[in-house]
């Protein structure tokens, strides 16, 4: 998803990056807690499958998603699938956090320019990809 946002100064834009970072870190914290819950469930499911296999019973843990226009839908998936999905989301969020942190650090020297600089930012997938400075 692309978006355009205008800022009255470099400082205002850097503040927005800081707010985005705080928000992403909170979201990541929530996903990390859910990931840990899914990990525990997945381990328990695996142990249960091992116990049943000792009795000669095979427990299928694999579930294939239904796909509708590129969106995967899982119906009653095992915890291992939820774990994999959450792990992927956390990885993407972490890459976004790292990109924003690096951008923030790289833009800090521009604070010395002072006032009178307008900033136009074009975002792609929540990350500033193009910055236009006007003075």
Domain interval for residue 97: 2-134
Q: From its phi and psi, is residue 77 left (phi > 0), alpha (psi between -120 and 50) or beta?
A: beta
| pTM to 2 decimal places | 0.82
Distances (CA, A) of 65 to 59, 80, 81, 103, 122: 18, 13, 10, 37, 34
pLDDT band at 62 (very low <50, low <70, confident <90, very high): confident
pLDDT mean over 44-71 = 87
Residue 70 DSSP code: T
What CATH number should be reported for the domain holding residue 75? 1.10.287
Q: Which helix (H) or strand (E) holds 81?
A: helix 79-107
β-partners of residue 56 are none
Residue 79 has pLDDT above 80, yes or no: yes
Burial of 38 (0-12, 13-18, 19+ CB in 10 A): buried
What is the domain count for the chain? 1
């Amino acid at each position: 998803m692309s978006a355009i946002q205008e800022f009255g100064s470099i400082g205002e834009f850097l503040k927005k990056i800081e707010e985005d970072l705080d928000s992403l870190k909170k979201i990541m914290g929530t996903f990390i807690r859910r990931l840990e819950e899914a990990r525990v469930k997945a381990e328990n499911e695996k142990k249960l499958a091992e116990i049943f296999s000792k009795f000669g019973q095979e427990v299928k843990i694999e579930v294939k998603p239904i796909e509708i226009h590129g969106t995967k839908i899982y119906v009653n998936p095992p915890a291992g699938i939820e774990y994999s999905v959450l792990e992927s989301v956390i990885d993407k969020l972490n890459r976004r956090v790292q990109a924003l942190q690096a951008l923030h650090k790289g833009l800090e020297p521009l604070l010395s320019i002072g006032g009178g600089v307008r900033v136009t930012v074009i975002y792609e997938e929540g990350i500033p990809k193009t910055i236009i400075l006007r003075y």
